[in-house]
Amino acid sequence: MKRVLANWLLVLPLLISLVPSMRAQENASAPGMGSQALAAVSSDERIAKLEQQAADAKSSADNAWMLVSSALVLMMTGPGLALFYGGLVRKKNVLATMMQSFAMMAIVTVLWALVEYSLAFGAGNSFIGGLQNLFMRGVGAQPDPDYAATIPLQTFMVYQLMFAVITPALITGAFAERMKFSAMALFMILWSLLVYAPMAHMVWGKGGLLNAALGGRFPTLDFAGGTVVHVTSGVSALVCAIYLGRRLGYPHEPMPPHSVVLSFIGACLLWVGWFGFNAGSALNAGSLATSAFVATHFAAAAAALGWAAAEWIRNGKPSVLGGISGAVAGLVAITPAAGFVGPMPALLIGAVAGIFCYTMVAKVKAKLGYDDSLDAFGVHGAGGTIGALLTGVFASSAINPIFKNSQGAALPSGVIEGNGHQIVNQLVGVIIAWLLAILGTLIILKVVDVVLGLRVSDDHEVQGLDLSQHGEEGYYWEASAS
């Protein structure tokens, strides 16, 4: 009895507060002079208001997903890639290797804020953006409908920044354990401006030569950066590995990974982060993001199986490092395709990439003799190239109607759908990425070599980069430490 009373006491104020608002509604609908005209205006207004509210809600939802995606992509560099690469080097280089990834989070961010964003996404010519967005000018809450109509341009900017961070970080795997930190930093600044910014502009920027969505001359399908991120970084990595030469003692001295455990954690973080990378590249929270999410996941799984199976057959055992390397290879290969292909082609692309990258890493590298220390080319260059080409084969207009005729009806996307020419466009995109990466990287290496020198001294290389470049150790040991 007491409880019922208490409940009524709680409800009573609510009822009282409702009464005046009900009266107000009666007043509003009371008959009077020109009430019909008034009602018509107010219904128009109400529709406009509702439309605005619906647009705001969609914008908020899209923005929430894009901010989460941005954070996920940053997580791919640190700690994802830093752990993945850090585990693969020898103990004496673990910190220096992680620092090379981490430094990109700081250096490229500042560079992006000052000039790189404008060079990549400012309206410019076919090859590079203009200078109108220097120092973040004009990059605010207002969306840019050419890029993403429902999210603030600032969200788009920070999302793209995370890609600009991880791309140079991927290259560091090629010259791990032998490059000066200062030379690495200067190389990456120049590389970001001279290779990444133009490539990003060509594929994704307004008026870009290869932009499929905004009417480029050679519309290359690259959903999340197969050419922009993986081909450019992977090919540049190969150039670096050859230019710098092998590590002291390679290939005679054994240089096994010092902790596959670290690499395992890093690879799994990369897998999760890649949902932001690929599904986020839909630039909204709609069904295309879901489709890209599923394709990404499926390809990673198939590629992990592909690499591990190839190893199992050749060496008699499926290794953990093989499994996680395969997953990363699959994620690389599905990157350009994620928003264009269905789940079954995604499985196929993944499986092909897993086996192909295993062959590149385990067989081709050993044959050719270059020391791509952590297989940045074997995984990203090779996987990115095969992924970009397969995108042209499997792209489906049912998943993403990117090409439309003048009436707005969807045209076929990939070779299987009947757009045989798309493979040529993909090839053009890949060749441009290869050429830009090779030429740009060679010139930058030459400049940095003259200005700073690229390699550490032999003594420093033997001592390890942790001590010689950073004055600290990853695994500090002293008897009195306890």
Instruction: Give the residues lining the site for another protein (CB under 8 A).
Output: 251, 254, 256-257, 260, 311, 314-315, 317, 319, 321-322, 325, 358, 361-363, 365-366, 375
Strand partners for 404: 410
CA-CA distance, 306 to 300, in Å (whole number)? Answer: 10
CB of 378 to another protein, least distance (A): 8
Least distance from C-beta 251 to another protein, angstroms? 8
Residue placing its CB nearer to another protein in the complex, 270 or 399: 270
226 and 391 Cβ atoms separated by less than 8 Å:
yes
CB of 362 to another protein, least distance (A): 2
The residue assigned the tokens 């493979």 is 423
Residue closer to another protein by CB (options 34, 254) is 254
Minimum distance of another protein from residue 319's CB (angstroms):
6
- Give the residue with the Cβ less far from another protein, 257 or 342: 257
Minimum CB–partner distance for residue 375 and another protein (Å): 6
CB of 382 to another protein, least distance (A): 13
Q: Which is nearer to another protein, 164 or 265 (CB)?
A: 265
Closest approach, Cβ 315 to another protein, in A, equals: 5
Nearer CB in complex with another protein: 260/268: 260
Nearer to another protein, 230 or 365 (CB): 365
The radius of gyration of the chain's CA atoms, rounded to the nearest angstrom, is 27
Report the 3 state secondary structure along the chain: CHHHHHHHHHHHHHHHHHHHHHHHHHHHCCCCCCHHHHHHHHHHHHHHHHHHHHHHHHHHHHHHHHHHHHHHHHHHHHHHHHHHHHHHCCHHHHHHHHHHHHHHHHHHHHHHHHHHHHHHHCCCCCCCCCCCCHHHCCCCCCCECCCECCCCHHHHHHHHHHHHHHHHHHHCCCCCCCECHHHHHHHHHHHHHHHHHHHHHHHHCCCCCCECCCCCCCCECCCCCHHHHHHHHHHHHHHHHHHHCCCCCCCCCCCCCCCHHHHHHHHHHHHHHHHHHHHHHHCCCCHHHHHHHHHHHHHHHHHHHHHHHHHHHHHCCCCHHHHHHHHHHHHHHHCCCCCCCCHHHHHHHHHHHHHHHHHHHHHHHHHHCCCCCCCHHHHHHHHHHHHHHHHHHHCCCCCCCCCECCCCCECCCCCCCCCCCHHHHHHHHHHHHHHHHHHHHHHHHHHHHHHCCCECCHHHHHHCHHHHHHCCCCCCCCHHHC
- Return the number of the residue (99 or 324) whose C-beta is nearest another protein: 324
Shorter beta-carbon distance to another protein: residue 94 or 212: 94
Least separation, in Å, of the C-beta of 308 and another protein? Answer: 12
Torsion of CA 79, 85, 90, 92, to 10 degrees: -40
User: CB-wise, 297 or 365, nearer to another protein?
Assistant: 365
Residue closer to another protein (CB basis): 2 or 367: 367
CB of 152 to another protein, least distance (A): 43
Task: Assess contact for 229 and 166: CB atoms under 8 A.
Answer: yes
Distance CA 369, CA 438 (A): 19
Closest CB to another protein among 260 and 467? 260
- CB of residue 257 to another protein, shortest distance in Å: 6
CA angle centred on 103, ends 293 and 360, rounded to 5°: 55
Encoded tokens for 80: 């994802």
Choose between 193 and 329: whose C-beta lies nearer to another protein. 329
How far is Cα 174 from Cα 239, in angstroms, rounded to an integer? 9
Distance of alpha carbon 169 from alpha carbon 185, whole angstroms: 11
Closest distance of CB 234 from another protein, Å: 15
We find the least distance from the C-beta atom of residue 66 to another protein, in angstroms, to be: 35
Q: Which is nearer to another protein, 137 or 314 (CB)?
A: 314
Least separation in angstroms between residue 249's CB and another protein is 13
